[in-house]
Each structure stands twice: as structure tokens, then as C-alpha cells.
Amino acid sequence: MTEVDHIDVVGAQSVLEVAEVVAAVLGARMEMGGEPGRIVITEAPDPDLRIVIGLSVNDRGLPDRWTRRITITHDRGSDERRRWTQHLHRGLTERRDWTLTSS
């Protein structure tokens, strides 16, 4: 089983908005496709890093309070995955209108 980290974002207007910010933080591109409603970040600086952004499974209520979930995996190991999770979390906390939680 592949281990994953999650960063949940509340306050973003759309999955696309989150993907644009994540891609900018990583210096990468985003690619729509694969699974409906999800965006994959491609051409990240680390070829073993995979990031997928979509809505959280447990979303309820008003769309402006929906959670956008960033799922982070890394083929080489948990240390690299955690390092990238921390890097993304730091880069995303600059968005004052977003609330972040990591797991």
C-alpha cells in the first residue's frame, strides 16, 4: 500500500485555484484528466513526487466551505514525502484566506 500525506484546504474557491498555487510553489504544471474532478501536478522538480488535488470525500454544506484535498505520494520513501508536504504547507500558508490542516 502506498503511503500518502494530505493537506486539506478550506476557503479556496475551486480545485483549480488550489492546483494553480501548488504548481507555482513547485515550479510545475497541472494536468486535468484521469479521474473526474481531480487535477494532477506534473513535471514537479522531483520525478518520484505525485500530487493530486480534488474535493475531500467528506464535503458537506456550502460550496465555499468545501475542502479541497491535496494528496501527496513519493515513490522513494516517507522522508521525501514528508519533506515535500512541509514545503507545500509552508508555501500555501501565505494564502490568508485559506485554512490548512495536514495529515
Q: Which domains does the chain have, with CATH numbers?
A: 5-102 (3.30.310.180)
Q: How do residues 46-64 score in pLDDT, each as one tens digit?
A: 999 999 999 886 666 666 6
Q: How do residues 36-50 score in pLDDT, each as one tens digit?
A: 778 899 888 899 999
Give the pTM.
0.87
Separation between Cα atoms, residue 47 and residue 97, nearest integer Å: 31
Separation between Cα atoms, residue 67 and residue 60, nearest integer Å: 9
